[in-house]
Structures are given as C-alpha cells and as structure tokens.
Structure 1
Amino acid sequence: MLAPGAVAVLTALALAGCSSGSSSSATGSPSGSGSARPASSAPSQSADGNQLQDDYQRVIADVLPSVVQITTGDSLGSGIVYDDKGDIVTNAHVVGTATTFTVTLANSTKTLDATLVGSYPETDLAVIKLSNPPGGLKPAAFGDSSKVELGQITLAMGSPLGLSSSVTQGIVSATGRTVSEPRGGGAPGATIGNMVQTSAAINPGNSGGALVNLDSQVIGINTLAATEPEANGAAAPGIGFAIPASTITNITDQLIKQGKVTNSGRAALGITARTSFNQQFQSVGAVIVAVTAGGPAASAGMRVGDVITKIGDTTVDSLNALTTALASLTPGNKVTVAYTRDGGGQTADVTLGTLETP
C-alpha cells in the first residue's frame, strides 16, 4: 500500500507500500571526463555493456508481464502472478483488511476484479485471486533461496509511487537478515527471518513486487525499505529487504490449497511469554506465562515463571527480542536456552518446534 511507517531494526524501516513516500535523486560524475581512453579499449567495453543491457532487457521481458498493480480503496501496491488460475501473491500489508481489489496487469490498462484467498500477517504474505482470469496469464518462476548469493545482480519490479511496471537494479547486499516491520495502519508488525537485502531501489508502492535475478527467477517479494531515524524518516538509499522465495512458495501454496497456513516453517519454543521487568522497570528477559504440554520447552524441563535471557549466542531482554531471535532459527535445530528460575541461572538444550497457527 502507499503509507510508510517507521520501525527499528539496526535503523528504522518503512514498508514499501504506502502513500506519503518521499522521492530522492542521485547524481554522478560524467564518465567521459578526464583524458581520453585508448581507442583499442572501446570495442570490448561496448560489447560487455551491450551484453549486460541485453540480459536486463531479456529478464524484464520475461518477468515484468507477471508483475501487477493492486489497488485497495485509495491505496496501492504490487503483486506477482503465481499461477495461470489467477492467483496473485503479495504482501499482507498491501491487502490490509480488504477482501476485494482491482488489479491491473503489466500489459494492459484494463482493471480486473479480485478477491482475497487468504492472508498470513506473521510473514506478511497474502494471496488474492482474479475473479475472471484472462487468457495468457504468465506465472512467475521462483528461484532457489539457498542459491542466492552476495553480489548477485537483482532487478526490483513493481509500481513505486503508482508508476506501474517500473524496474530498478542493484545487487544482493546480504542474505539471512531478520527484520521487524512497523505495526499499525494495516501493517502487521511481523518479524521475518532470512530476508534478502538489496541495493535495488524499493519505494512506496513496490510492496508485493518482484525481486528478480538474471535467470528471470523471483528470489523475493519487495517488502521494506530502510529509513534514517535522524533524518525524520527520510529514505536511506540502497537498503531494501525482500521476503525470500522459499518462504513465499511455502506460505502461498498453503493459502491457495487450504485458505490458511498450518505449517509456518518458523521456529518455536512452544510457549506463551511476555516481557519481564526488574524492580527498576527495566526489561530483563521474556517470562514464560504458558507452556504447551509436550512442546519443545516443556520437553526440555522449562516451566511457567522461567525468564528466558538468552537463545544460543543472542541476548533476550524482551518478548520482541525473543521473537526476533526465533525468526532467525529453523525448526528441528537444537539450541541452548539460558533462563533464570527463582533467581538462579539455568540452561536447557531445546529442539525447536514449528510455530503453530490458528
């Protein structure tokens, strides 16, 4: 949708699908300044440049027809055609609480009606479906998240600021990022693990669009852009985040088949917790208020009243810190949990379970 909010994860973040986004510009020095280059170097450089340009244009021709614009009331975002039956995957914060939408395909100005299939705010993903899918829909191809590497060239496709079928380019700046979103105004406030960080420009309206590699594969859904807290939330150029393809396909397949998610793929301790405070009202951990019988924590001997202070090497000083730590872990892995009980420190080796969903 179009309405950026702020969030703290190393720096503040803004959802890339909101309405009052600011634009920015960059300048560079002319490449032709200074002394002339030898004539013999021009042909190979031109050939290299033309090859990369050809690659960009091929990928754009392959994937852009799969990227759509989604309108909800007076706000908009982007989406990706998932199959030829009219299912479109996007961000949960793009659909918000709406159940009906209008969709504009990349190769058309005609709007199409769509309805909600299902939404899973915990990973900020949702699926909508065209009421009358036209012939010739082109589903996107999704890549292997395990093969996404630092330095790979990426193209971000979507409708930033309402400019449909826009494309920006960059590289994969990092993988495995755990990012927390803002909450409110339709934003779910999800904490999402294993996100892809990219330098490709991601602006308001890009949410739900495609982050693509040069093999014409979607490697992520554009979701967040960094902002600078010290600059009143102004955009921090070159820092954007995308939900990885493995998460997209896992959640989308379940929403299409079942209308809900029963296997989140997210690690869990099998507890309910809240932030614990000391006598000086400082947050010091996450206190367990309920334990699932037979769950990971219970099986490791943990119980109600225990205050979790560390998971692996990560310090836990609040419920949010616990949620963020778990988002970066994988179900089935064993992790050492440090906690206090009756004032004394203890540890437990816990085999992580899967976060259950309603």
Structure 2
Amino acid sequence: MEIPVLDDASPSAPRSPRRVRRLLLPLSAGACALALAAGCSGADPAAAPAAPKAVPSGTAQGSVTRDTGDLEAAYQAVINDVLPSVVQIDASDSLGSGIVYDDKGHIVTNAHVIGEEKSFKVTVATGETVMDASLVSSYPEQDLAVIKLDEVPDALKPVKFGDAERVEVGQIVLAMGSPLGLSSSVTQGIVSALGRTVSESRSGGGTGATIANMVQTSAAINPGNSGGALVNLRSEVIGIPTLAATDPQLGDSAAPGIGFAIPVSMVRTVADQIIKDGKVTDSGRAALNITGRTVVDDSYRPAGVALVSVDRGGAADEAGLRAGDIITKIGDSEVTTVTSLSEALAGDKPGDKVTVTYTRGGDSRTAEVTLGEI
C-alpha cells in the first residue's frame, strides 16, 4: 500500500511515496474475531475531568464556556506533557511511532513497525533532530520491540506509565503518533472496552500474533499510529496503539472508532526483559507445544487443528496427544483454525489446566492438559 507522506514543512508538496505498514483486523459477520476475556466496569469519575454537561433551560452560557475551557485545557496539558516523548520511526520502507521508555535511550514500539530492519532513523516530536537507533530485540509473539538511540540527547524525556488495573471503560484517552507519516498527530476518544483478544493479519508486514487483554478505544488509529501512545488525562501511557479494525462489508476499509492498544502491563513486562537480558525470557504465554495446521470438513469449512508435530516432553505430549490428532475444542471454546486455537489459549497462563477435545481415527476424545509456555 503506497501512501504519500507529506512534508510537515510544506503540507501541499508530497515527498516521494513511502510505504506505511497497514495492520488491520478483519471483522466478519457471524465470526467471533474478538473474544471478551474480562468484564467491563463503569468509568471512574476521578480518573479524568468531567466532560461538558448538558445545559438546563435558563443556565448561563458562561458556565458552558467554562466547562468546555476546562476540558480543552486538560487536553492541551496532556499533549504538552506527553508528545515530546513520542517519536517517529523510519524503518527504511515503513514509518511508525514509538515511545521513549527510559533516559538511557530505549524506545518501545511494535514489532511490525520495525519488520526485519536492524537500524532506524528516529525523529522527536519537534522534528528538528533526526537520530540513529539500533535494534535491541523484537518479540513478534506480542508484537513488541525495543530499539536504542546510538547517542542519547540530554533532553530525552521518558513517558510516565499508568496502572493497567485503573483503566476503565468510559475514560477519555488521546492517541499520539505519526498516522500516515504525519508526525505529532493527536486523536481523541474513550476506552470503549477492555479484555479484547485479537489476532493480527500476516499480510502487509503483520506478525500474525494473537494478543490478549487489549484495550479497545474509539480514538482514531491509522497506519503509522502503531507503536505510539494511548494516554489518559493524567498524562500516563496506558497502552501502545497496534491495530485498527476493518469491515469486509465496507470493502475492508477501516471500521471507524474501533482500535486496539497493547496494555501497559504487557508493554512493561516485555520491554523490561528485553532491556535486561536482550530477549524475552519469560513470556507468560500459554502453549500446547505443538505445530498445527487448519483442516477442513467435507464442505471445505475450517473444522479443527491437526497436530503436525508434538514437542517431546511438551504439554500436549505429556497429556498423550500425538501427531495426526485434530483439536476441536479448548474447554468450551470451539477450535476451527490455528487462529481460533491461539485465541482460545490467549487468556490462559503456563501451568493452567485445560480440557482439550480432539479426534483420533474418527473418534472424539478428551484430555486434561497442563499448559506449557511459548
């Protein structure tokens, strides 16, 4: 997908086109691409300044202006506070966003933003400085990566992270990044759902990762926002925008107001391990320790996951599963494809016990499996 990137200094004059990786989640009618993994509670009134109230008959217009001004001032304060910590990342043939993680020059972004590249150009929000950076490590399984500036400027400002446990539906949030290469852009919305499990497409440079507990937001998420910041009105980063939804009925165009961000708890878990050890040493992600492929029924509809190989000593092997078995359910969740298998396991942890329903030689069987780790 070729998208012309406008030069901020001359908005009317496009530069040579630069590809912005487009990561979108297909949503099809009747197919549950999203699994609600956790309940959602109401908004915390103390979490953000109140939105402007409806004006009863006879109320002075001045009070409306005052409420509106307070909210605008809150937005502007957050933008001034956080935007200097949001950067644009040029990964050769793609553009994306990143957040300054610490004062040592580490920057966190999405794995799909950096692709296979090892070196990058990083531009701060003010745009006057382009800095070189190198890859520390990428973790495509969670679509996260860490890069590091080759030289750390004195004024580098790390972001402030929020508490994932305090994120609630209805809270006002701002998404900051470089959509379509337009650096230092800000969109506004609310947290519209919590606990979403989504699977990325592998097309367009996607990792194919299945990610649990994502934050759903109505703030506009466009190509180039990936890796940026989803921020509350306390100037705290609560997630990294990663995916926007598409609707096949609209020609796979973006579904307005449905975007997803990796929660801050997972961002910090992965980034801290990469910075400390150069890689993720404890994924916290459950696995059956198998290699599988999707199989179809007589009507050519997906009907399960056939085990191509089973890791010796792994979770499935210990439970007696073997190559050739076809998994059809994990607990109460139907399994029809490799993606639905990943989604069924996304909310579990290593060491959890699950009931696996499978067929062997046409016979349906079950096994209790103690899950391993990716």
- Normalised-by-shorter TM-score class: 0.7 to 0.9
- Check the 8 A contact 1:193/1:327 in 2, yes or no: yes
- Check the 8 A contact 2:357/2:365 in 1, yes or no: yes
Q: CA deviation at 1:266?
A: 1.3
- Check the 8 A contact 2:355/2:366 in 1, yes or no: yes
Task: Quote the sequence identity (%).
Answer: 61
User: Across the two proteins, how many residue pairs are aligned to each other?
Assistant: 332
- 1:70 aligns with 89
1:172 to 2:191 alignment? yes
Alignment TM-score, normalising by the size of structure 2: 0.82
- Cα distance in 1 between the residues matched to 2:291 and 2:168: 36
- Check the 8 A contact 1:158/1:209 in 2, yes or no: yes
| Higher deviation after alignment, 276-285 or 104-113 | 276-285
Which of 161, 173, 191 pairs up with 2:210?
191
Q: Cα deviations across residues 60-100 of structure 1 (Å, max 9, x unaligned)? A: 22211110011122431110000101010011111111111
- Check the 8 A contact 2:28/2:248 in 1, yes or no: no
| DSSP 3-state at the match of 1:54 | helix
Which of 166, 188, 200 pairs up with 2:219?
200
Which of 319, 322, 326 pairs up with 1:307?
326
- Check the 8 A contact 1:273/1:289 in 2, yes or no: yes
Q: CA deviation at 1:301?
A: 3.2
Give the counterpart letter for 1:284 in structure 2.
Answer: A
Label 1:49 to 1:280 Cα distance change in 2 as closer, same or farther (>3 A): closer
- 1:343 aligns with 362
- 1:149 aligns with 168
- Check the 8 A contact 1:297/1:350 in 2, yes or no: yes
Give the counterpart letter for 2:148 in structure 1.
Answer: K
Alignment TM-score, normalising by the size of structure 1: 0.86
- Cα distance in 1 between the residues matched to 2:226 and 2:185: 12
Label 1:52 to 1:320 Cα distance change in 2 as closer, same or farther (>3 A): same
- 1:106 aligns with 125
- 1:17 aligns with none
- Cα distance in 2 between the residues matched to 1:327 and 1:37: 48
- Cα distance in 2 between the residues matched to 1:198 and 1:215: 17
- Cα distance in 1 between the residues matched to 2:353 and 2:120: 43
- Cα distance in 2 between the residues matched to 1:329 and 1:173: 23
Q: How does 1:54-69 map to 2 (within 5 A)?
A: 54-69=73-88
Q: Cα deviations across residues 174-218 of structure 1 (Å, max 9, x unaligned)? A: 111111212144322222121111000111211111001122211
Q: Cα deviations across residues 141-164 of structure 1 (Å, max 9, x unaligned)? A: 222223221111111000112221
- 2:21 aligns with 3
- Cα distance in 2 between the residues matched to 1:164 and 1:218: 18
Label 1:190 to 1:295 Cα distance change in 2 as closer, same or farther (>3 A): same
- Cα distance in 2 between the residues matched to 1:202 and 1:150: 18
Label 1:115 to 1:312 Cα distance change in 2 as closer, same or farther (>3 A): same
Label 1:103 to 1:301 Cα distance change in 2 as closer, same or farther (>3 A): same
Unaligned stretches of 5+ residues in structure 2: 1-18, 32-54
1:240 to 2:249 alignment? no
1:253 to 2:272 alignment? yes
1:211 to 2:230 alignment? yes
Label 1:160 to 1:42 Cα distance change in 2 as closer, same or farther (>3 A): same
- Check the 8 A contact 1:336/1:347 in 2, yes or no: yes
Which of 288, 292, 313 pairs up with 1:273?
292
Q: CA deviation at 1:38?
A: 4.6
- Cα distance in 1 between the residues matched to 2:165 and 2:373: 20
| DSSP 3-state at the match of 2:69 | helix
Q: CA deviation at 1:278?
A: 4.0
- 1:83 aligns with 102
| DSSP 3-state at the match of 1:49 | helix
